[in-house]
């Protein structure tokens, strides 16, 4: 079994300088790429909103049966009101089943809610949306003339802005995660590692030496149960020098645009580490790949849990894990 090194975890004298460099790197990326990422998402979302508007005849047909046949239009409808409605606000105003709204947000109708109850709740949602539809955006609702193509596109753009604004953080976070994984992949391939084809069926503990995979499922025991569940790991790497039955290095890519959110999320990594060690023992090798706002409070918490990390601005530290 390869000994787990202390790469950054046991070097608190370096943390302050690394935090500053990490924040600078994230901010430089955000200023250059986040606006582009957001604009691209807005273009895609505008087209989706236009399609949803067609489904509801440009908000003139929001009958329960229309919603039942097209539940995925609900997020658009929530952003079409004045003011825009959060999920919980809609649930409270309409007095409807939370499960119904959550399932509709996923583009589905709940299976267990009876047809009669569903119809009643959909009628309540329809009433709220019609009553609160924003007349400054959907200017055709209070006139006889139908909406023009330009008016529909303009309204769709406004609603798309609202939708993207509501999920701006996930849009940026997902783009940053993709970039982080690409960096890890390039670093590995420059050193002769090969990426496993997606869906080739190779299990994480049977990877050939010198290979890696992204977003691989790793089975772990459920707490207090013999049953297993799969947890996704961002990057799984089997060192070239790996011996038989040696586990790969598992890495979680983490980025953050502020210090507050990371301290809310810091238990996630510790829980994942606990699940892995509870299933595979102390031989588990698990690390973080960090870029952004990770303060000493976050780092100290992870270090106390036995979790090490590599900073994106010093990616060559990956070699200290035997890669």
**Sign of the alpha-carbon dihedral angle for 226, 229, 232, 235:** positive
Together in a domain, 24 and 46: no
Report the pLDDT value the prediction gives residue 314, as an integer from 0 to 100: 94
DSSP state of 81: B
Please provide residue 239's backbone torsions phi and psi, each rounded to the nearest 5 degrees: -55, 150
Report the pLDDT value the prediction gives residue 1, as an integer from 0 to 100: 43
Q: How far apart are CA 117 and CA 121, in angstroms?
A: 6
Report the pLDDT value the prediction gives residue 191, as an integer from 0 to 100: 95
DSSP state of 263: H
Report the pLDDT value the prediction gives residue 74, as an integer from 0 to 100: 92
What mean pLDDT is reported for the chain?
87
Report the pLDDT value the prediction gives residue 2, as an integer from 0 to 100: 46
Please give the residue range of the domain that contains residue 16: 12-34+169-321
Nearest to 159 by CA among 84, 229, 104: 84
Together in a domain, 246 and 313: yes
Which regions in the chain score pLDDT beneath 70? 1-5, 113-115, 117, 167-168, 199-201, 224-225
H or E element in which residue 294 lies: none
Which of 111, 146, 168 is the endpoint of a domain?
168
Please say whether the beta carbons of 229 and 261 come within 8 A. no
Together in a domain, 164 and 175: no
Q: Are strands 308-311 and 285-292 parallel, antiparallel or unpaired?
A: parallel
CATH of the domain at 226: 3.40.1350.10
- Total domains present in the chain: 2
Together in a domain, 179 and 209: yes
Which of 116, 150, 168 is the endpoint of a domain?
168
Tell me if 7 is assigned to some domain: no
Report pTM: 0.69
Report the pLDDT value the prediction gives residue 245, as an integer from 0 to 100: 83
Please say whether the beta carbons of 240 and 199 come within 8 A. no
Nearest to 73 by CA among 17, 172, 156: 156
Q: How far apart are CA 167 and CA 147, in angstroms?
A: 28
Together in a domain, 154 and 252: no
């Amino acid at each position: 079994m390869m000994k787990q090194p202390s790469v950054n975890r046991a070097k608190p004298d370096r943390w302050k300088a690394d935090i500053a460099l990490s924040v600078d790197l994230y901010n430089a990326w955000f200023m250059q790429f986040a606006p582009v990422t957001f604009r691209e998402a807005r273009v895609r979302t505008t087209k989706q909103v236009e399609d949803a508007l067609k489904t509801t005849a440009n908000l003139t047909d929001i009958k329960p049966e229309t919603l039942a046949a097209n539940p995925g239009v609900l997020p658009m409808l929530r952003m079409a009101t004045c003011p825009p409605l959060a999920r919980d606000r809609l649930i409270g105003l309409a007095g409807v089943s939370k499960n119904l709204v959550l399932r509709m947000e996923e583009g589905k109708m709940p299976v267990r809610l009876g047809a009669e109850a569903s119809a009643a709740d959909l009628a309540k949602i329809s009433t709220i949306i019609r009553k609160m539809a924003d007349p400054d955006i959907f200017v055709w609702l209070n006139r006889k003339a139908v909406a023009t193509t330009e008016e529909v596109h303009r309204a769709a753009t406004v609603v798309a802005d609202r939708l993207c604004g509501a999920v701006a953080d996930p849009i940026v976070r997902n783009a940053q995660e993709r970039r982080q994984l690409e960096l890890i992949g390039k670093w590995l391939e420059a050193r002769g590692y090969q990426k496993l084809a997606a869906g080739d069926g190779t299990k994480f503990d049977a990877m050939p030496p010198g290979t890696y995979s992204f977003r691989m499922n790793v089975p772990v025991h459920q707490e207090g149960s013999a049953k297993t569940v799969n947890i996704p790991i961002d990057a799984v790497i089997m060192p070239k020098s790996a011996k038989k039955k040696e586990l790969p290095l598992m890495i979680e890519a983490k980025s953050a645009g502020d210090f507050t959110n990371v301290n809310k999320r810091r238990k996630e990594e510790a829980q994942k580490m606990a699940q892995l060690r509870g299933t595979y023992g102390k031989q588990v090798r698990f690390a973080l790949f960090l870029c952004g706002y990770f303060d000493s409070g976050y780092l100290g918490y992870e270090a106390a849990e036995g979790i090490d990390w590599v900073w994106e601005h010093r990616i060559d530290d990956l070699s200290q894990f035997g890669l």
